[in-house]
Structures are given as structure tokens and as C-alpha cells.
């Protein structure tokens, strides 16, 4: 079969794009290298989403796609931090700004949107309404190009999947090996290889009893005596969720991530001494390739230079992070493919739709 659209990567951007395309044609295939669909949003996630005009427009597009209500009330969410023995309003990182400042800053919001559906529920709805073909454990090893167009992708080193249009929603660093060097010059490869990306280390704790009624983001940065590991956390009922980021190259050593999580626990105990009674349970989730902005210049319609049928759907091409970056890039690609979406949040004011 020759597919109308071949989509590489089944995270939020891949699922949104695949879902919308499959409303027009069922000849859409979604390729996922792992054993499950949904990417990092199928895992625990801090419940904060920015409340701005552009970010709400992004959610409105998702509501329209799923025909479900997602946007709740806008609430005050000014973060707090623990300093000098008490919780205080968080006034910024100052000279303690972590290397992953851009990833952390996404959550440090004066106001946030309460979501009627959690992001993990978005994933389930998108999976259930997708009308095309899904293929897990399908590792794309090469884009095969002829006459300035991708003709097929090589999967698991042996299987060719042919298509008319290809949309890449995977780890951008994989593009170094996937795109032939004739279309992927040394400057671009250097930019991609030198971009710092992060592994997200998340600790989910079941405290058995409520620890606090605070729903604000907690930003814990340790003390001057600590080897500082900044973490972000929130409480809901008897459970709390804490996240920090470790550079991908360091996260390859599990001991580095384990030490970061131990320091997080020390900071939680300092702020809430009674938060670790006997019998608590913990869950650790570590996800690589999370975050980072790739300053690679694409065509105005989000295709790769000189490859007119290869679109870039990865959120790393957006300066916005996290959910907002993923949503923006999804709608940008869909608009470039000729689908109607709200466009007033696009960074490019002279954006034009490419006919295909």
C-alpha cells in the first residue's frame, strides 16, 4: 500500500496530526518505536497549563478536534518555595537558575488553566478516534529520497513503507541519521547534535494521608549547603508529583538520576517533615528526549529544506515548551497541509498554506 500520510512518532503532536488527517483519509499510518502510543503524556504530568490568549486558542483547536470540553476556569497559580524554614511566594530563580530554566519556567505561572480532561485523557481520546493504521515497535532507520521527495521509510532496517507525504514527530536528534546528508548539511547536523536535551525524572509519592491543601506549584531549590537540584512539584489529595530534569547525556548513567531523586526527597522532607510516614509508596518515571529547542530553519510551511513532502511536527521546533509547544506545532503543520485551524498564535505573520 502507498499511504497518503506516514507519521513518525506517536506523541501528542503525532496523534493530533494523525487524528485530523484520518478524518479525510484512512490511508494514514502512525509509526511508533516503542511498545505503546502516546509518548510522555501517557505518564504522570504536572497539572499546569499557561493561561494566555494564544495558549487557550491551542486548546480550543483540540476541543474542536475531539468534540469535547477541555478548558476550565483560569485560576491563580503563583508558585511557592521553601526558604528560611517556611513556605514563601516564589519570586524567581535569581542566581540559582537551573540549566533547564526554559523547561522549568513553563510551569512557573501566575495563572493557569484548569483542565477538564487531563493530558493523559487527551491521548486516550485521540487513540480511540484515530481511523488509520498504528504500528508499534517500528523503528524508522532511514528516509529514502529520490528527486527531492521522500519515497519511503525503512522500518527496523528491512521493511519499506511507501507514502505520498511524511510527517516527522519524533526525537529531532534522530534526523542526523534519518535524512540523507545531501539534504542534511554539516552545519545543520552540528546544530542538532549540540542542542541540549533533557530527561525528565518524575517521582510520584502516595503519602497515605493529605500533606497540604495547597494546589500551587512548589519550586524547591535546596539550601546553600546542598548540591542544588531544583525540582517542581504539586499535591493532590494524598499524592504528590515531583519533576526535575537531567541532561540526556548524563541520564545515561542511572546513578546520576538516582542521586537527583534522593536530593528531591530531602527537599520535600525539609518543607514537609511529616510527609514520609511508614508505608508510603513511590513510583519513579524517567523519560529521555524531553525538552530542548532546536534552532533549525525550516521552510515557511514547516517542511524540511529541499524535501517538499517531509513536514516537521516535533515540538522541539517551537520556542514554547511542553504541552503548549506540542499543540502549537501540531496546528502549524495541519494549517500548512490545508486544514482550518485558529492561526492567530503562529509566530510567522506571513504564513501561507502550501497546496498539496
Domains of the chain: 2-44+120-195+294-336 (3.50.50.60), 71-115+198-290 (3.30.9)
- 342 pLDDT band (50/70/90 cuts)? low
pLDDT higher than threshold 90 for residue 112:
yes
d(CA 152, CA 168): 13
Residue 57: its pLDDT value, please? Answer: 94
Q: Which residues contact residue 181 at a Cβ distance below 8 angstroms, ignoring those fewer than 6 apart?
A: 189
Contact between 108 and 79 under an 8 Å Cβ cutoff? The reply is: yes
Taking CA atoms, 147 is separated from 155, 294, 308, in Å, by: 21, 27, 10
Mean pLDDT of all residues in the chain? Answer: 90
- 141 pLDDT band (50/70/90 cuts)? very high
pLDDT higher than threshold 50 for residue 353:
no
pLDDT tens per residue across span 164-202: 999 999 999 999 999 999 998 899 999 998 899 999 999
Q: What is the DSSP letter of 307?
A: E
Residue 10: its pLDDT value, please? Answer: 95
Q: Which residues contact residue 51 at a Cβ distance below 8 angstroms, ignoring those fewer than 6 apart?
A: 74, 109, 111, 112, 113
Residue 280: its pLDDT value, please? Answer: 87
- 349 pLDDT band (50/70/90 cuts)? very low
Residue 344: its pLDDT value, please? Answer: 53
Helix (H) or strand (E) holding 121: helix 119-129
d(CA 143, CA 149): 10
User: What's this model's pTM, rounded to 2 decimal places?
Assistant: 0.91
Compute the average pLDDT of residues 247-265. 89
- 343 pLDDT band (50/70/90 cuts)? low
Better-predicted residue by pLDDT, 301 or 276: 301
Compute the average pLDDT of residues 278-291. 86
DSSP string for 314-335:
-GGGSSS-HHHHHHHHHHHHHH
Compute the average pLDDT of residues 89-96. 90
Residue 21: its pLDDT value, please? Answer: 97
- 26 pLDDT band (50/70/90 cuts)? very high
Better-predicted residue by pLDDT, 107 or 347: 107
Grid cell in block for residue 137 = 515497535
Q: Reading across the β-sheet that carries 281-290, which strands appear in turn?
A: 86-89, 80-83, 218-220, 231-236, 239-247, 198-206, 281-290
pLDDT higher than threshold 50 for residue 339:
yes
Residue 89: its pLDDT value, please? Answer: 95
Residue 105: its pLDDT value, please? Answer: 93
pLDDT higher than threshold 70 for residue 115:
yes
- 345 pLDDT band (50/70/90 cuts)? very low
Amino acid at each position: 500500500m502507498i499511504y497518503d500520510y506516514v507519521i513518525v512518532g506517536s506523541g501528542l503532536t503525532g496523534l493530533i496530526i494523525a487524528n485530523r488527517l484520518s478524518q479525510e483519509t484512512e490511508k494514514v499510518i502512525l509509526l511508533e518505536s516503542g511498545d505503546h502510543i502516546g509518548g510522555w503524556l501517557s505518564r504522570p504530568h504536572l497539572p499546569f497549563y499557561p493561561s494566555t490568549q494564544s495558549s487557550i486558542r491551542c486548546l480550543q483547536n483540540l476541543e474542536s478536534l475531539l468534540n469535547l470540553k477541555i478548558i476550565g476556569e483560569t485560576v491563580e497559580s503563583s508558585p511557592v518555595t521553601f526558604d528560611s524554614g517556611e513556605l514563601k511566594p516564589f519570586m524567581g530563580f535569581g542566581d540559582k537558575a537551573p540549566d533547564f530554566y526554559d523547561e522549568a519556567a513553563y510551569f512557573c505561572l501566575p495563572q493557569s488553566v484548569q483542565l477538564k480532561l487531563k493530558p493523559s485523557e487527551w491521548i486516550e481520546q485521540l487513540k480511540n478516534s484515530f481511523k488509520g493504521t498504528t504500528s508499534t515497535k517500528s523503528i524508522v532507520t532511514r528516509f529514502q529520497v529520490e528527486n527531492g521527495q521522500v519515497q519511503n521509510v525503512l522500518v527496523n532496517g528491512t521493511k519499506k513503507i511507501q507514502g505520498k507525504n511524511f510527517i516527522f514527530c519524533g526525537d529531532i536528534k534522530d534526523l542526523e541519521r534519518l535524512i540523507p546528508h545531501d539534504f542534511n548539511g554539516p552545519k545543520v547536523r552540528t546544530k542538532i547534535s549540540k542542542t541540549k536535551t533533557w530527561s525528565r525524572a518524575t517521582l510520584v509519592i502516595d503519602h497515605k494521608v493529605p500533606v497540604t491543601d495547597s494546589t500551587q506549584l512548589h519550586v524547591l531549590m535546596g539550601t546553600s549547603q546542598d548540591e542544588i537540584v531544583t525540582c517542581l512539584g504539586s499535591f493532590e489529595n494524598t499524592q504528590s508529583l515531583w519533576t526535575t530534569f537531567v541532561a540526556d547525556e548524563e541520564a545515561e548513567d542511572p546513578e546520576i538520576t538516582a542521586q537527583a531523586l534522593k536530593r528531591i526527597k530531602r527537599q520535600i522532607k525539609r518543607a514537609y517533615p511529616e510527609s514520609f510516614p511508614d508505608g508510603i509508596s513511590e513510583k519513579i518515571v524517567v523519560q529521555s528526549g524531553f525538552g530542548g529547542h532546536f534552532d533549525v530553519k525550516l521552510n515557511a510551511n514547516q517542511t524540511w529544506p529541499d524535501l517538499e513532502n517531509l513536514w516537521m511536527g516535533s515540538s522541539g521546533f517551537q520556542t514554547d515548551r511542553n504541552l503548549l509547544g506540542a499543540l502549537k506545532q501540531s496546528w502549524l503543520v495541519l494549517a500548512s497541509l490545508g486544514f482550518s485551524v485558529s492561526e492567530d498564535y503562529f509566530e510567522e505573520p506571513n504564513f501561507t498554506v502550501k497546496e498539496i
